[in-house]
Amino acid sequence: MRPKTLSVIIPAKDEIENLPTLLDEIEQALISINYEVIVIDDGSVDNTHQWLEDKAKANLRLRAYRHSRSAGQSTSIWQAARLAQGDWLATIDADKQNDPADIPTLYQYAITNTVTLVAGKRSKRRDVWHKRVSSRIANSIRSKLLKDSTPDTGCGLKLINKNAFLQLPYFNHMHRFIPALIQAQGGTCISINVNHRERQKGQSHYGLHDRLWVGIVDILGVIWLRRRSRLPANLMPLVDSYTTIDDSREHV
């Protein structure tokens, strides 16, 4: 079996109404790409885990895992990244508002350019008004304080170099600040317009408090973390240790 080049990561909580169609759309969109799909059932109380278990038995590209109780989106993505076999990670929300048809565009840009992260930018949001307002405020504050050059970090659709992601510090809500964290480690980010769709089924798990006030508190933590972050120093050997060892053996 060929090594996977792309791992699609889907954190899901009570999205049984959306997952079947979403996985079908991913299969159609990535027909020309060697990929796998990792779904983390984050403590769903519907029958998501049972459906995933049955689906994974019939679909070799699908790897399914479950939290016995909700651990959050960041934890789900962080754990899935460590299980991923692909060189690149594509994160996508389970609510079907992100369009899988955009993944090949992000992936192609990533592999043909020197970039660490390609972030989706929802040019036309299809959300209720209070979600749009809270997101716009949070994005504006984040952009001014973090200067991460990413206009829409709340978009769940991102394409990330796996090795770079594995170097990031882990904390709750980290998924909202991946561009800033990538840049703090010396990586490069670009944003590309993507499609956004209305939620047709299920309910959002985030409200005004989650998107705005908690996000502002987290920004202060990221500012502190970035100031404390240091890129690895370039370590150069003064003597070729292997040559030294070999030379010493010749004189024994």
**Strands, DSSP E only, in 87-223?**
88-91, 117-122, 158-161, 189-194
Q: pLDDT (tens digit, 0 to 9) for every residue of the chain, 252 residues total? A: 556 799 999 999 999 999 999 999 999 999 999 999 999 999 999 999 999 999 999 999 999 999 999 999 999 999 999 999 999 999 999 999 999 999 999 999 999 999 999 999 988 876 665 566 666 766 677 767 777 878 888 899 999 999 999 999 999 889 989 999 999 889 999 999 999 998 877 666 555 555 555 667 788 778 877 777 766 667 778 876 555 545 544 444
At 38, which helix (H) or strand (E)? strand 35-42
pTM of the model: 0.83
Q: What six digits make up the tokens of 28?
A: 């159609």
Cα–Cα distance for residue pair 58/52, rounded to 1 Å = 10
Residue ranges of the domains in the chain? Answer: 6-250
6-250: CATH superfamily: Spore Coat Polysaccharide Biosynthesis Protein SpsA; Chain A (3.90.550.10)
Cα–Cα distance for residue pair 180/117, rounded to 1 Å = 11
Nearest to 191 by CA among 144, 145, 158: 158
